[in-house]
Amino acid sequence: MTDLNDPLEIGGVTLRNRVFLAPMSGVSDLPFRQLAWKAGAGMVVSEMVASAELCTRERGNLLRLRGDGLGTHVVQIAGRETKWMAEAARIAEGEGAHIIDINMGCPAKKVTGGFSGSALMRDLDHALTLIEATIAAVKIPVTLKMRLGWDNDTINAPELASRAEQAGVQMVTVHGRTRCQFYEGKADWRAIRAVKQAVSIPLVANGDVLNRADAAGILEASGADAVMVGRGSYGQPWLPGMIVHGNRNGINQSMIADYAVAHYEAMLAHYGEQTGIRHSRKHLGWYLEKHGIDISTAERISIMTETNPHLVAERLHAALSRPDEHDMKKVA
């Protein structure tokens, strides 16, 4: 059985353990990744960056490339043209990335509509040209994230993974759903095992991992070498680290309040006050939803709509630090 605490070697880069934070658009920005890394995640992956847009060097896209304070800096890129994928990979490497991850799993219509993300699983020959161009452009390891297939009639993740390994990909992550499932139903952990049987490189299993028991379950069902945590980390960026370390890193209400305020203040510093306030609201909502105790509607609204950062931090900390008999260690 895989030991979550064991390091994992990826093309000369050593990942410190085997529980990773997934790339999540609009979520896994630098402040979120920094918190997850400090809490013990073995690897954290940037938000997906569109390759052609990155090549414009627009400030918002360049912000996604920052890896300050991360022991291992992984940048995920997406696209449909070899020219832009190669150039984006070079830019990311130049900005200090240790690993480039290729997105062939995003199910969003705005991504698949442009024949990127999981849409590439409908044309494996074209997908391979993108993989080959990316690998040829950089000296650092390249990894790949995918779904099981486009739909239940085209479960081709094992074939794509095998061909990607032959092209030089150093690790594969599989989300246990098809694109057409989006995030509905339960991820099929057992179906990921066919990918493990098709490759000799490390395999990461992803989908519906919410706690330590889920991590053990997905690893047993899939035979994977590591696990990736996505939506379960909303409002609790420490979750991957807690899954690794169990109750040794238990989180109490006071610590949650400190985390939330630190996260809020880091977002304002990262984006600037006006943009940071706007981007932070979904995160504040998740903290309050998951960890708030006896918060009234009026109190929630006052936190979510306030524009004075000092008042937001003060109210947020007060709302989240109330004593409770509930033991927050159970999330692991």
How far is it, in rounded angstroms, from Cα 300 to Cα 291? 12
Domain 8-249: assigned CATH number: 3.20.20.70
| 106 carries an active-site annotation | yes
Tokens of 329: 């260690």
How far is it, in rounded angstroms, from Cα 238 to Cα 41? 8
So what's the pLDDT on residue 328? 45
Q: Which residue has the tokens 């040794």?
A: 248
So what's the pLDDT on residue 41? 97
Residue 259: C-alpha distances to residues 30, 111, 174, 237 (Å): 15, 32, 30, 9
- Residue 20 pairs in a beta bridge with 43, 228
How far is it, in rounded angstroms, from Cα 211 to Cα 207? 12
102 contacts 145 by C-beta, under 8 angstroms: yes
**Side chain identity at residue 215, one-letter code:** A
CB burial readout 77-113, b (16+ within 10 A) else e? bbbbbbebbbbbbbbbbeeebbbbbbbbbbbeeebbe
205 contacts 169 by C-beta, under 8 angstroms: no
CB burial readout 27-54, b (16+ within 10 A) else e? bbbbbbbbbbbbbbbbbbbbbbbbbbbb
Catalytic choice (106, 199, 268, 319): 106
Name which of 127, 130, 45, 41 is nearest 92 in CA terms. Answer: 45
21 contacts 47 by C-beta, under 8 angstroms: no
Q: What is the pLDDT along the chain (332 residues), one digit of tens a residue?
A: 689 999 999 999 999 999 999 999 999 999 999 999 999 999 999 999 999 888 887 888 888 899 999 999 999 999 999 999 999 999 999 999 999 999 998 777 777 666 678 889 999 999 999 999 999 999 999 999 999 998 888 899 999 999 999 999 999 999 999 988 878 889 999 999 999 999 999 999 999 999 999 999 999 999 999 999 999 999 999 999 999 987 544 678 888 999 999 999 999 999 999 999 999 999 999 999 999 988 899 999 999 999 999 999 999 999 998 775 444 444 44
Helical spans, DSSP H, in 97-228 = 109-112, 124-137, 157-167, 193-198, 212-222
So what's the pLDDT on residue 329? 45
How far is it, in rounded angstroms, from Cα 9 to Cα 211? 24
Query: Angle, to 10 degrees, between the axis of helix 124-137 and the axis of helix 82-94?
Result: 30
Name which of 174, 216, 227 is nearest 15 in CA terms. Answer: 227
